[in-house]
Amino acid sequence: MIIRVLIFPLVFVLLSCRIGVGQSGNLVNNPGFEYHTICPDNCCQIDYAAPWFQPLYVASSDFYDTCGHSPVLNSIFAAQMPRTGEGVAGIYFYPMWREYIETELKIPLQNDKCYYAECYVNLNNYSYWATDALGMYFSDTVIVNLGDAINYPVPLYYQPQIRNPLGNIIDDTVGWTKISGTFTAHGGEKYLLIGNFWKIEDCNAHTFSGNNFEVDAYYFIDDVLVMECPDTIAPLEVHNTVFIPNVFSPNKDGQNDDFKIYGENITQLNFAVYNRWGSEVFRTEELNTGWDGRYKNKDCSAGVYFYLAEVTFADGSSVVKKGNVTLIR
């Protein structure tokens, strides 16, 4: 267990001045982690990429940089190239161990103004898990959570303005996946955090094994952008989304134990599951209720089942989803 003291960068001394992403109007300082006050030589050194820092007292958010010595990152976990330049951040997203990176924007966001934000992520190829629970949260106050200074960092539960699409599990260890979106600011948002802001039961994930040294879901982060929306982009605050898993395992291990509907902006639901002979084994109209793999208080056998779901959204629109799911025991 690594215990580290949070150090706020009081002076942003640029000892390295390499060119990074360089998008016009970017409100993020050091968006590609190209500038460093000290060349990193170990884990847990995100504060070397000032003004980025770690908001949790007990955590180990990482900063990797070749410092001009090698075209490949020096990492205890992997040797992956940054998307651009020579620097990149790395944090755990899932399951229990959560880390975050935080920075102060150049200027606060303005009330009722549309903003576009994006970042790129890449799954570390030693990760055992891959997840969809990646988001960007904007706050008007600095987020610092001492949590449990002995055991592990307490997850931060917020509603991120930008999130990876629900059900879009990012398991690409070669290419970089863009997380992006627009939102309307309340005004005064001055700090940006990147990480996992959801309870474990609200995260979708699957195992990504086959490695000699398996760790939790660990992602590299690069090229962060926050800017005012171009005239061609309108705010997108409400999203009608539905995600239905194609496999679940009701073995009470806390991972994918229930087969249920996930989504955003859903107000009504009619959801039923049938066995291969067409007999109904489960039905619900409760938004957060899923099938536990049982019928009449008995475990159903492993195999393929079929579902039919009618989903209604807050704007009155609706969609019908049907397909199959595999029950694994």
Q: What is the pLDDT of residues 64-88, one digit of tens each?
A: 887 755 444 544 455 577 888 888 9
Segment 303-307 mean pLDDT: 94
The residue assigned the tokens 């704007």 is: 315
Residue 235: predicted pLDDT: 53
DSSP string of 275-329, one letter each residue: -TTS-EEEEE--TT--B-SEETTEEPPSEEEEEEEEEEETTS-EEEEEEEEEE--
Which one of 78-87, 124-133, 224-233 scores highest in mean pLDDT? 124-133
Report the number of secondary-structure helices (H) and strands (E) in the chain: 0, 20
pLDDT band at 23, cuts 50/70/90?
A: very low
Residue 128: predicted pLDDT: 83
Residue 201: DSSP 8-state: G
Q: Helix, strand, coil proportions of the chain in percent (round to 5)?
A: 0, 35, 60
Q: Is the pLDDT of residue 19 over 60?
A: no
CATH 2.60.120.260 segments of the chain: 46-228
Adjacent-strand bridge partners of 217: 94
Distance of CA 212 to the CA centre of its chain: 25
CATH 2.60.40 segments of the chain: 241-327
Q: Is the pLDDT of residue 43 over 90?
A: no
Q: Which two tokens stand for residue 28?
A: 């993020």
Q: Is the pLDDT of residue 219 over 50?
A: yes
Is it true that domain 241-327 has CATH number 2.60.40?
yes
Q: Which two tokens stand for residue 125?
A: 């190829």
pTM: 0.67
Is it true that domain 46-228 has CATH number 2.60.120.260?
yes
Higher pLDDT, 23 or 326: 326
**CA-to-CA separations, 295 to 250, 278, 279, 283, 309, in angstroms, rounded:** 13, 14, 11, 11, 18
Laid out side by side, the sheet with 247-248 consists of: 247-248, 318-327, 303-313, 266-274, 280-284
Segment 44-67 mean pLDDT: 82
pLDDT band at 241, cuts 50/70/90?
A: confident
